[in-house]
Structure 1
Amino acid sequence: MNALVLLAAILFLLMVVIGGKKGARSFIALFLNFAVIFLTVFFMLNPYTNPIILTLVACTVISCINLFYINEVNIKTKTAFVSTVITIVLLLFFIVIVTENTMIQGFGEEEIEELSIFSLYIGVDFVKIGAAVIIMSTIGAITDVAISITSPMREIFHHHPDIGRKALFLSGLSIGRDILSTSANTLFFAFFGGYLALLIWFKDLAYSIGQVVNSKVFSAEMITIFSAGIGVALIIPITSWITAYYLVKTREADKPAE
């Protein structure tokens, strides 16, 4: 407990020193996001609730916290929020279909021994739970990419107020391409960092490459990474187009009538 408090204090101090008020809000946002996820899991235990709808609501709230609470309400956060919601809705249909067809829901055989003392009849739809987990895993990366595109696009528009919609859109795509590779690699290494022990266990069990790739635990995590990567790639053109459309439309609306 003392180690957790010490690390939290160090993190808070660094975020305040480097980020100022925004850093302090970012630190508080960590606990707000945790509270949203905790409440979402709590409500999912009710068999009469739909995990997909709960996840959409939770992702919307998390997006509001990460965008509006940390960065305040402005053009950048508004367009990033709209882009995030659209991407999540589009991605959700894809993830539900993938989850149903790949049958990655539930527990893998490597986890059965640890769960053997518990009852698996908990009255929830594991397909929807699996899709909800993937969506929750992607929301952070998608929101981060959205604000990372809208912010420089707003600066480009500010310094070049006469820029056209197509040129501004292409600028957003150019920015997104630089972000795409780093975001995809971040997701990839986050998986291997979190599941390094699992990979070592596969080695101790003398699993072949085929057994590793076809194991439910490994497949579920890889599908999560691919889905998050698809979401990151998808939000780049969506955010670029929405931001370019909104900024140019605002400029045209502000022009005095001749």
Structure 2
Amino acid sequence: MTVQVLLAAILFLLMVLIGGKKGARSFFTLFLNFGVLLITVIVMTVPSVNPIILTLIACAAISSINLFYINGVNSKTKTAFFSSMITIVILLFFIVIVTDKAMIQGFGEEEEEAISAFSLYIGVDFVKVGAAVIIMSAIGSITDIAISIASPMRELFHHHPSISRKELFTFGLSIGRDVLGTDTNTLFFAFFGSYLALLIWFKDLNYSIGEIVNSKVFSAEIINILCAGIGVALIIPITAWSTAYFLVKTGDRGI
């Protein structure tokens, strides 16, 4: 038994013991999401494919798996999915504009030696690919916050069906404020954790603070973090408003 299989078995056992059937479904979603990501990467290398459209389709598939497969099809998962897709569309077009204006596409001088043996004429728009990378990195946090807000809002409405839409919206915002800081920091450490070796490399190259800050690789990483953080902030009011609107309008009879 390899180390990977052993760790996977331990993770599966813990998720089943703690989460029961929902924990088991959550474990299998890891493989489903990996399959979606793998297919997305393979298809994205086809020159005729638009990475933006492909990313939207992939995000819709991942959101459906994370929300509907794990939690079932109900009012809270429907509003969470609806809110996630609106946020992704807004964030995606915003990122395309930012990455184009910041001119972070392509490779930095630190990467020249590693890619010198490869052809760069692969017919792929790296601006759109960069936008796709940011979105795919943030989709997990976006759907997580969406369901974290929609679920307690639905529970509150179930126990207090006479609550007003404004009060329900305010309640959702209050929940969002509690998770905003932790999720933003989670994204920050996730991004920088993966680039820790790069920071050590900068140190070994005796880069000054100014050279590091102005490096294309470092700038691209900062933009990734900030754009993902914007997505995390956007999902809170969007989910709170859409959930409050649909719950009050339908009386939670199914959306």
Query: Fold match, TM over 0.5?
Result: yes
Does 2:24 match 1:49?
no
Separation (CA, whole Å) in 2 of partners of 1:141 and 1:92: 15
Separation (CA, whole Å) in 2 of partners of 1:216 and 1:140: 26
State the Cα deviation string for residues 27-49 of structure 1 (Å, max 9, x = none): 11001111101111111111011
Does 2:184 match 1:181?
no
Match of 1:167 in 2: 167
Separation (CA, whole Å) in 2 of partners of 1:140 and 1:104: 24
Match of 2:84 in 1: 84
Conservation of the 8 A alpha-carbon contact between 2:60 and 2:85: yes
Secondary structure of 1:123's match? coil
Change (3 A) 1:197 1:253: closer
Secondary structure of 1:190's match? helix
The alpha carbon displacement at 1:192 in A equals 2.3
Does 2:185 match 1:221?
no
TM-score by length of structure 1 reads 0.95
Match of 1:243 in 2: 243
The alpha carbon displacement at 1:159 in A equals 2.0
Letter in 2 for 1:210: G
Between the two proteins, what is the percent identity of the paired residues? Answer: 75
Separation (CA, whole Å) in 1 of partners of 2:165 and 2:106: 47
Conservation of the 8 A alpha-carbon contact between 2:145 and 2:235: yes
Separation (CA, whole Å) in 2 of partners of 1:223 and 1:129: 14
Match of 2:234 in 1: 234
Separation (CA, whole Å) in 2 of partners of 1:132 and 1:194: 17
Conservation of the 8 A alpha-carbon contact between 2:52 and 2:128: yes
The alpha carbon displacement at 1:177 in A equals 0.3
Separation (CA, whole Å) in 2 of partners of 1:253 and 1:25: 26
Separation (CA, whole Å) in 2 of partners of 1:53 and 1:81: 18
Match of 2:71 in 1: 71
Secondary structure of 2:56's match? helix
Separation (CA, whole Å) in 2 of partners of 1:173 and 1:252: 20
After superposition, the CA RMSD in angstroms is 1.4
Displacement over 4 Å in runs of 4+: none
Separation (CA, whole Å) in 2 of partners of 1:252 and 1:113: 59
State the Cα deviation string for residues 152-211 of structure 1 (Å, max 9, x = none): 111111222211100000000000000100001111111222111111111111111111
Conservation of the 8 A alpha-carbon contact between 1:138 and 1:231: yes
Separation (CA, whole Å) in 2 of partners of 1:122 and 1:6: 39
TM-score by length of structure 2 reads 0.96
Letter in 2 for 1:214: N
Separation (CA, whole Å) in 2 of partners of 1:101 and 1:22: 43
Count of residues in correspondence between the two structures: 254
What stretches of structure 1 of length at least 5 have no aligned partner?
A: none
